[in-house]
Amino acid sequence: MSTTITPPIPARAPWQLLWSHEVKRGFLLSGITLLGLVGGYAAGHYELIGLQNALWALAFLAGGVPSAIKATRSLIQERKLDVDLLMVVAALGAASVGQAGDGAILLFLFSLSNALQSWAMNRTRRAIEALMTLHPEGANVLLPDGSEQWKPLDALSPGDILVVRPGERFAADGLVVDGYTDVDESALTGESVPVDKKPGDPVRSGTLNGHGVVRVRVERPASESTLAKLIKLVESAQASKSRTERFAERFEGPYTIAVLLSAPVVFAVAHFVFGLEAAQAWYRAMTFLVVASPCAVVIATPAAVLSAMAAGARAGALFKSGAALEALAKANIFVFDKTGTLTEGRMKLVQVVVLQGSEAEARALAAGIERYSEHPIAQAIAQSWDGPTPEVSKIQAVRGHGVVGVLADGTQVWVGNRRLLGSLGITLPPQVERRLQAMEQEGLTTAVLGSDHQPIALLGVADTARPEAAQAIAKLRRQGARVIMLTGDRKAVAEHIAAQVGISEVYAELLPEDKLERIKQLRQEGTVVMVGDGLNDAPALNAADVGVSMAAGSDVSLESADLVLMKNDLNRLVGAQQLARATARTVYFNLSFALGVIVVVGAFALAGQVPLPLGVVAHEGGTVFVVLVGLRLLAHRVGS
């Protein structure tokens, strides 16, 4: 048997994500600027004026030309004035009054600040961009003759059987058809504990195979895989902006114009009103120009938002936009669908009331009857017993009623609902009927197991609540949230699950349009988060201020959601809101600090108490400070 080994997968090291071309160029230019600055002062010390002017010209070229090009491009292409223009004008203004050294200091610190900002912002993008490196270039496909052939990613198609060895990543979403292993899903879900996989279990593209060799049947093309969708989600998230970010960007242009126009006013007042010499008045105007520049105000919000989105992505909580992050911080109404959101989304046999014999005998017989049925209730009953079962033949499924079969001794056995009992001419004793009704009132879907005309046991099947749901709901309540359940399921079932997880406000038996209308009504009362994972939840997810979907949800719900929880754990939603609130606090602090520096230092600059180099330090230091404060959100934990 021949084997084609998967070629090595090129990966970008973490330092490559941080040290981008932009960052390296920024530090190189700031280094050249510093060399010209220091050399110019040294040449002046030895009265080498020609050399000093040449070195300062080098500093101006290295530190100023990139900013001048950027400012010109912004002016021509976007018709917008930005802070780069302010810095270039201030540096040239300082040189025009014989303070070229101060101008060189300004350009050095400005270029260094830009390089540091780029490096810091790349840190916030690193956790998000790491998703892009998870896709292997291809996979080994099992051929009909038993050999393997390596195929590139875009050549994989549903039905292909992939052979995945220890240490390899899964190239597509699929189902394990042979073998046992453990899978590291931390890159997608944030869950550090590997998940055991056996035949029939799903695996997702980009996750890492552990210790076993498994064969996986591809379920969907690589372009439609979970990882591919997440990458598209992340790309759209990076391009989107929150309301605060959009305000800061709109603020930058008019504010820059105002600062530029204020410089001549400051000069005129200082020269003509207070009698300063023209050179001194112009120097003061240039100092104010630097101090009043809005760099820190503009960067304050994206530094925090991108850091928060990176922290969320690393923990398996993917925001599609900064607007979703901002809205989640204010959310005070949380609305949950039931099936697959508050519950596991699959039926389980949770109660057996024995009327004859033992519970083990009843479970074994029921499993033997139901083992070939594909109905969810039948599968729940069959999967509840892993021991030997009696041989049942002539199995016949009666649609909407149940299943009938025959034992080896000719005894007819059956499992079904009241309609099946009626068709068989069986009437339950009053005490058994009352017990069955009590089970239904508890929210259970019931079936009766019997042989010939005698009931043997009552079976109660239900979709069980998620283990963490009650804890997550309690946390949301402690944070002051109003929690509601909207479901299309029966009222008794809905109220039973709601009681288990701690929700008192329940609306059941709703159609998708009913859910949509309810969400619209709730939005008039507060900021609404809708959590769901089904096709029928998509309209409500779109209508809510923040739509949240589990990664295991339908494709439509994933498209409609603003936040995707990669691990099906509602505690991640609580953590995501805590992250959103921390982000809102950080943005508020950053904006307050940035504006405070402008007001306080600007006032001292107008009074002539701040020389240009100190104004540059205050301006650039404040800019770097708000970036570093935003970076603190990278350490925020979004865990269960």
Q: Are strands 563-565 and 317-319 parallel, antiparallel or unpaired?
A: antiparallel
Kindly give the pairing relationship between strand 202-203 and strand 174-178.
antiparallel
Taking a C-beta distance cutoff of 8 angstroms, is the pair 276, 600 a contact?
Answer: no
CA angle 127, 130, 132 (to 5 degrees): 140
Q: Residue 179: left if φ>0, alpha if ψ -120 to 50, beta else—which one?
A: left
Q: Is the dihedral of CA 152, 153, 154, 160 positive or negative?
A: positive
Question: Quick one: CA torsion of 97, 100, 103, 109, rounded to 10 degrees?
Answer: -160
Record the tokens describing residue 348, joined without a space: 């389980």
CB atoms within 10 A of CB 250: 10
Alpha-carbon distance values, 226 to 135, 182, 207 (Å)? 11, 19, 10
Going by C-alpha positions, the residue among 196, 198, 138 that lies closest to residue 169 is: 138
> Which residues neighbour 586 within 8 Å (Cβ) at sequence distance 6 or greater?
304, 308, 629, 630, 632, 633
CB 219 within 8 A of CB 173: yes
- Residues recognised as catalytic: 337
Rounded Cα distance between 275 and 289, Å, is 20
Three-state secondary structure of 14-34: HHHHHCCHHHHHHHHHHHHHH
Sheet holding 181-184, edge to edge: 195-197, 181-184, 208-209
Quick one: which H or E segment has residue 148?
strand 148-152
Distance CA 265, CA 170 (A): 65
Q: Contact at 8 Å (CB) between 499 and 470?
A: no
SS3 content of the chain, % helix, strand, coil (to 5): 55, 20, 25
Short-list 348, 350, 346, 354, CA closest to 448: 354
Name the burial class of residue 432, with classes exposed (0-12), middle (13-18) and buried (19+) by CB atoms within 10 angstroms of its CB: middle
CA angle 381/382/385 to nearest 5° reads 95
CA distance 565 to 312: 9
Pair type for strands 138-142 and 161-164: antiparallel
